Chains A and B, each alone.
Chain A
Amino acid sequence: MAPYVTAIYAALLGLLAVTLSTIVMANRRRAGVTLGEGDDPRLRRAIRVFGNFTEYVPTALILIGLLEASGGPRLWLHVLGVALLAGRIAHAIGLSRNSGASAGRNVGVLLTNLTLIGASVALLIVALPKL
Chain B
Amino acid sequence: MAVPVISAFYGGLLGVLAIVLAVLVINQRRRTHVGIGDGGDQRLALAGRAFGNFAEYAPLALALFALLELCGGPRLVVHLCAGGFVVGRIAHAIGITGNAGPSTGRAIGVVLTFVPMLVAAIWLVIITAPAVFR
With contacts A2-B71, A15-B118 known, is A7 near B100, CB below 8 A?
A: no
Size band of the B side of the interface?
35 or more
Contact B63 A25 (CB under 8 A): no
Bound CA span A13–B118, Å? 11
Contact A34 B60 (CB under 8 A): no
Q: Which applies to chain B's interface (DSSP): helix, strand, loop or mixed?
A: helix
A-B contact count (CB 8 A): 98
User: Taking the complex as formed, is B74 at the interface, i.e. its CB lies under 8 A from any CB of chain A?
Assistant: no
Q: Which applies to chain A's interface (DSSP): helix, strand, loop or mixed?
A: helix
Chain B residues proximal to chain A, CB less than 8 Å:
1-2, 45-46, 49, 55-57, 59-61, 63-64, 67-68, 70-72, 96, 100-102, 110, 114, 117-118, 120-122, 124-125, 127-129, 131-132
22 contacts between A and B (CB under 8 A): A3-B71, A5-B128, A7-B67, A7-B71, A8-B129, A10-B63, A10-B67, A11-B121, A11-B122, A12-B125, A14-B117, A14-B124, A17-B57, A18-B117, A34-B100, A35-B45, A35-B46, A35-B96, A35-B100, A36-B45, A51-B56, A62-B59
